[in-house]
Structure 1
């Protein structure tokens, strides 16, 4: 029966960490974005975020985006410097054309750093893409 279940593959959807200057606090900070580089809207997007390693674990954060239009992006959350030394996981689930998609995006520990900055889809800033 499991062989009859179709699990569609997530394509052209990314999670990226972008280093940005916060005018209010006058400092640089890392923000995590969900990027929809596909030609279809994402509906009822649910994101579950957590940081972990063998000894420590952060609180689980849950986010919801009603609709993320095609070729757009949305800020998910600010990520504190203290959790950059942990694995940071973002489980993203959404609907497109009445089909549910699900993918786990992970930033391995210490992968979010300035030396790893590269071009990311759609956002006119450099960042780090989750795997």
Structure 2
């Protein structure tokens, strides 16, 4: 039965950490974003995030985006400094052309640092792409 399931490869969808200035709190902070660098809108985007390492674990966060247009991005959540010391997983599921896609993106512990920020798709600021 499992061999009969078609699991399409996820392309042009990314999760990135970007450091931005929060005007309300007057501080730079890391935020996680989902990026659609493809040429088609994706629908019913479900994101489940969790941080974990060495027995430490964060709460599970769930997010939903009805439609993420082609060539756009959306904020997922704020990333606290303490959470960046953990492995942060973002499990992303969405529909494209009536097919369901699914992929897990991971920021390894201590990998989100300003010195590692590079040009990323769609977002004008430098950031770090999850693997």
What TM-score, normalized by structure 1, do the two folds share?
0.98
Q: Any residues of structure 2 matched to 1:76-95 within 5 Å, and which? A: 76-95=76-95
1:55 corresponds to? 55
Taking the aligned partners of 2:55 and 2:14, their CA distance within structure 1 comes to 28
Taking the aligned partners of 2:47 and 2:89, their CA distance within structure 1 comes to 10
For the pair 1:25 / 2:13, whether they are aligned, the reply is no
Count of residues in Structure 1 that have an aligned counterpart in Structure 2: 131
CA deviation map 1:50-80 (0-9, x unaligned): 0000220000000000000111000000010
**For 1:121, what is the secondary structure of its paired residue?**
coil
Taking the aligned partners of 1:97 and 1:51, their CA distance within structure 2 comes to 31
Q: Any residues of structure 2 matched to 1:1-131 within 5 Å, and which? A: 1-131=1-131
> Please, what is the CA RMSD of the aligned residues?
0.6
**For 2:3, what is the secondary structure of its paired residue?**
helix
After TM superposition, what 4+ stretches of structure 1 lie above 2 angstroms from structure 2?
none
What TM-score, normalized by structure 2, do the two folds share?
0.98
CA deviation map 1:105-126 (0-9, x unaligned): 0000000011111011000000
